[in-house]
Structure 1
């Protein structure tokens, strides 16, 4: 990290609320969790009087199997997995080992605001490209390129073939491709994990509904993997986070049920909300809505008064009349529809 850049940086706004009196649709986390999580956490807590095993072998094996599940053949080895305290730490680690003062990185826009912040903290310069044009961008003369799939907040998943073609162009340009797959496990699209010249960042926050656990990982191969492994903080996962993460990633039935529910409810919400809003197509557990000539702040406040928190998406660059809503369980989604009626 560049010390001079820190004084010029600032925090990034996010969804999520600590107000338990409202139903939170502003953060895109699963309202359900795999069975047995509480017991796994309690058992691991008893082991937390000792430092974690810094090899994290069980977590690495589970993570490698998890990202390989939708691939034709397992392309990710446990040795390729770099445990991190959440997906955001995986992103920071990727930027720390690839960027320095004066470098530049291609980033999609609108997209996750932490990309700009983390890149700037390294003293590098983010170069914005429209999120739906990033795969057509020229990576030449950029040290890093970033792709978010499905993109947050628009929800569109990148074409796997086009993404692999872009990865090949990045390798030809000696540009490291960082792929944020935080929401990819809500789809059956294969991960890019195990691809040369690529750092994949994964989060367990969204699918497994445990943002407070702070568990995630990066995946890379070859010399890039070695740099991540050396730079990784020692004991980067707590003992409970490692145990819970491994347990969750092995629950294939939970992931399958969640995908089916989210796909069905997302389509139902899209159809209902399209009567009053311009709704973006989405492959993610959220929908981006254009509220038109309504005042966004008023829409957000009205929904809150009706017991629902939604995300003011005008904090994303280029969005000036948008809100984002998560996809939850049917009864909760009904409450969202009531809260947004006639706003």
Structure 2
């Protein structure tokens, strides 16, 4: 991290509602958790009296099976954002440029700046046409947040080959990829994959994730990662969750069906962006965004104000939740 860059870097707005009286459509986390995860958490409390084993062997094995890579390529982190910070920390020097999708997750810009790097924003749907030469890294968010589209796997791998030829690291944020059937880039040379367990397993407070890399990049990640960087409960619960394949499959199916149903219901009244993710980006058109947010709140619903993303001045983002909750959202939006 570049000490001179810290003072000019600010916090980034996010979704998430602290009012438990509201149904939270502002955060893209699963409203359900794997059965048995609470028991796994309770069982892990007994080991908190000692330091966790820093090799995190079982967690690495579970993560490797989850994304289909070698366990030795997995680097445990306290969430996907910690994986991103670690990735930028070992690939970006002060003054180097990093290509970022726009609009997208605001933490990319912040984390690159904290390293003293220079963000170069590019429209998210034009990112794979960028010449990676002369850049330290290129970031892809797959599927992209807040727009929701996933990149075609063949196009993404072709772009990765171009990055390898240029000696440019591809940082792939796959926080929402497990809601799709698309393959991960985990285990490919020249890429750092960042994964989060927050979204699929509905545990943003657990702070569990991992990075995946190979070769020299992997060696740097391993050397730089914090000792005991993942708590024992997070490691144990994360391992348990990543082995719940039926839960993942059922969640994917529910989200796909509900997303399509929500899109069909709202498409005549709102501009609904195509999405492969557990959320939809809505253009409210001539409506006032503040009025839409306030109306939803009066109905007991919290939406994400998407105007904090560059280029989105008439948008809200809504999570895909449970059918009965989604019905309430549809009714409220059609009445706004």
Shorter-chain TM-score tier: over 0.9
Aligned to 1:315: 308
Cα deviation for residue 297 of structure 1 reads 1.3
Residue among 175, 183, 194 paired with 1:190: 183
Contact 1:307 1:339 (C-alpha < 8 Å) held by counterparts? no
Residue among 139, 142, 145 paired with 2:135: 142
Alignment of 1:139-218 (within 5 A): 139-218=132-211
Distance 2:117 2:231 in 1: 31
Unaligned runs of 5+ in 2: none
Q: Deviations over 1:243-273 (max 9, x none)?
A: 0000000010000000000000000000001
Aligned to 1:240: 233
Aligned to 1:67: 67
Alignment of 1:77-88 (within 5 A): 77-88=70-81
Cα deviation for residue 305 of structure 1 reads 1.1
Cα deviation for residue 319 of structure 1 reads 0.7
Aligned to 2:279: 286
Paired residues, number: 336
SS state at 1:282 partner:
coil
Distance 1:305 1:214 in 2: 31
Residue among 250, 254, 263 paired with 1:257: 250
Aligned to 2:96: 103
Distance 1:117 1:318 in 2: 17
* 1:53 paired to 2:46: no
Aligned to 1:71: none
* 1:121 paired to 2:78: no
Unaligned runs of 5+ in 1: 69-75
Aligned to 1:21: 21
RMSD: 0.6
SS state at 2:184 partner:
coil
Distance 1:100 1:222 in 2: 19
Q: Deviations over 1:272-320 (max 9, x none)?
A: 0112101001000000000011111111111111100000000000111
Aligned to 1:334: 327
Aligned to 2:39: 39
Q: Given the two structures, how large is their TM-score scaled by the length of structure 2? A: 0.99
SS state at 1:247 partner:
helix
Q: Deviations over 1:48-106 (max 9, x none)?
A: 010011000000000000001xxxxxxx1101000000000000000000112110000
Distance 1:298 1:51 in 2: 50
Cα deviation for residue 339 of structure 1 reads 1.9
Q: Deviations over 1:184-222 (max 9, x none)?
A: 000010000001010000000000000000000000001
